[in-house]
Amino acid sequence: MKKRVGILTSGGDCPGLNATIRGVAKALYQRFGEDVEIIGIINGYSGLINGDWRVMQPYEFSGILTVGGTILGTKRTPFKLMRVMGDDNVDKVDAMKKNYKDMKLDCLLCLGGNGTHKTANLLAEEGLNVIGLPKTIDNDIYGTDVTFGFHTAVDIATEVIDRIHTTAGSHSRCMVVEIMGNKAGWLTLYSGIAGGADIILIPELPYTIDNVCAAIEARAAQGKNFSIVAVAEGVYDAEEARMKKKERAAKRAEQGYTTATNRIAKQIEKMTGFETRVCVPGHMQRGGSPSAYDRVLATQFGSYAAKMVEDENYGITVAMKNNHVGENKLKDIAGKSRLVPESHGMLEVARRMGISMG
């Protein structure tokens, strides 16, 4: 009897999803040959809920190592809604379990971030054979040193900051660059250091605008005619850090700013007199071909997941720990995030280089 392996990609897209799908598929075909069928589930958990899937052919996994996005499509299906009955009166958990059985799956591979892993753990607790693979440009999945997609996003964000330097210097401006990262500052921290940002603001370290402006004015006093501020999209100032989410939103609405980045730019301009502009690379940070690092990492993760299928080791997610690929139990990592700790060495590197953290 053929082994039937389902694969889905859920949540935001990122470079390396296709490389990971390819890694899984090639390793499975290498081990099982014609005794394995790979079932592609379309648009993540939405496809699993609605029964949108197809049997994939080996040729479909060729030529996708360098391709960005995901050949399976993806949608955001929030974990908090998984047990909430919608207008369609569909019990999502029951529907996923039914379609898993209808597809005659031996196991299901779920490629995604924190929300994806919470749903993967839910399905594992419901008795399904599940393996997770950690994807996110935010690098914030608990229990793994790195996620595929992160290094490529760092490269892209770094190039943005690189290119901002010349226009900032030419116009004697302060440039505020918004980097993705709602709760975790890894992407902003690494790209900020790599791109030579003068100020780096991340969600884990609430800033004060006085400190930000003081750093800009100190550079001006040294004869520097521009400054680059790398801002994670989810940053808070010290006052907001003490507020609840709704209170923060109300405060920003009252002030007329939808994002922290725009507010920071206006405050800098008002307090320092420096002409200030905002740059938002946005979803470009998710797009395009994965870097060589992420292609290798995706292949490592994919091949390891295939080994777990062979060993029938389920209820786990693949992880990189101290430069070795291994796994964590889904129940141990679901619902947890890996944030930048105050003692992290890269923060010390930034400060020794004279970078202000706000």
Domain presence at residue 349: no
Q: State the residue for tokens 């005794």.
A: 35
> pLDDT category, 333, cuts 50, 70, 90?
very high
Looking at residue 85, what is its pLDDT?
83
pLDDT, tens only, 303-329: 999 999 999 999 999 999 999 999 999
pLDDT at residue 89 tops 90: no
Looking at residue 351, what is its pLDDT?
95
Domain presence at residue 342: no
- The mean per-residue pLDDT over the stretch 227-237 comes to 95
- The mean per-residue pLDDT over the stretch 247-260 comes to 80
Q: CA distances (Å), 350 to each of 85, 159, 229, 320, 357, in order?
A: 47, 18, 13, 25, 8
> pLDDT category, 6, cuts 50, 70, 90?
very high
Q: Are residues 64 and 122 in the same domain?
A: yes
Q: Are residues 183 and 63 in the same domain?
A: no
Range of the domain at 133: 3-148+290-333
How many distinct structural domains can be found in the chain? Answer: 2
CB 72 within 8 A of CB 122: no
Q: Are residues 271 and 328 in the same domain?
A: no
Q: Are residues 202 and 302 in the same domain?
A: no
Looking at residue 243, what is its pLDDT?
83
Q: Which two tokens stand for residue 101?
A: 């059985």
- The mean per-residue pLDDT over the stretch 144-158 comes to 97
In what order do the strands lie in the sheet containing 227-232? Answer: 199-201, 227-232, 174-179, 276-279
Domain presence at residue 31: yes
Domain presence at residue 267: yes
Q: Are residues 173 and 302 in the same domain?
A: no
CB 227 within 8 A of CB 199: yes
> pLDDT category, 252, cuts 50, 70, 90?
confident
Q: Which of 138, 140, 198, 237 is catalytic?
A: 138
- The mean per-residue pLDDT over the stretch 290-301 comes to 97
Q: In whole angstroms, what is the distance from residue 105 CA to residue 75 CA?
A: 21
Looking at residue 81, what is its pLDDT?
84
Domain presence at residue 338: no
Q: Which CATH number is 26's domain given?
A: 3.40.50.450
Looking at residue 254, what is its pLDDT?
80
Report the amino acid identity of residue 148: F
CB 276 within 8 A of CB 269: yes
- The mean per-residue pLDDT over the stretch 113-122 comes to 95
Looking at residue 239, what is its pLDDT?
87
Looking at residue 83, what is its pLDDT?
85
Q: Are residues 177 and 311 in the same domain?
A: no
- The mean per-residue pLDDT over the stretch 138-145 comes to 96
Mapped onto helix, strand or coil, the DSSP state of residue 339 is coil
- The mean per-residue pLDDT over the stretch 174-188 comes to 96
CB 340 within 8 A of CB 347: yes
State yes or no: is 138 an active-site residue.
Answer: yes
Domain presence at residue 354: no
pLDDT at residue 258 tops 80: no
Mean pLDDT of all residues in the chain?
Answer: 94
Q: Are residues 255 and 214 in the same domain?
A: yes
Q: Are residues 264 and 317 in the same domain?
A: no
Q: Are residues 179 and 135 in the same domain?
A: no
Looking at residue 357, what is its pLDDT?
96
Q: Which two tokens stand for residue 315?
A: 């209820």
Which of 46-60, 157-171, 246-260, 271-285 is the least confident region? 246-260
pLDDT at residue 46 tops 90: yes
Q: Are residues 74 and 11 in the same domain?
A: yes
Looking at residue 59, what is its pLDDT?
96
Q: Which CATH number is 222's domain given?
A: 3.40.50.460
Q: Are residues 9 and 35 in the same domain?
A: yes
Q: In whole angstroms, what is the distance from residue 251 CA to residue 294 CA?
A: 39
- The mean per-residue pLDDT over the stretch 122-146 comes to 97
Q: Are residues 306 and 271 in the same domain?
A: no
Domain presence at residue 133: yes
Q: In whole angstroms, what is the distance from residue 75 CA to residue 52 CA?
A: 13
Domain presence at residue 225: yes
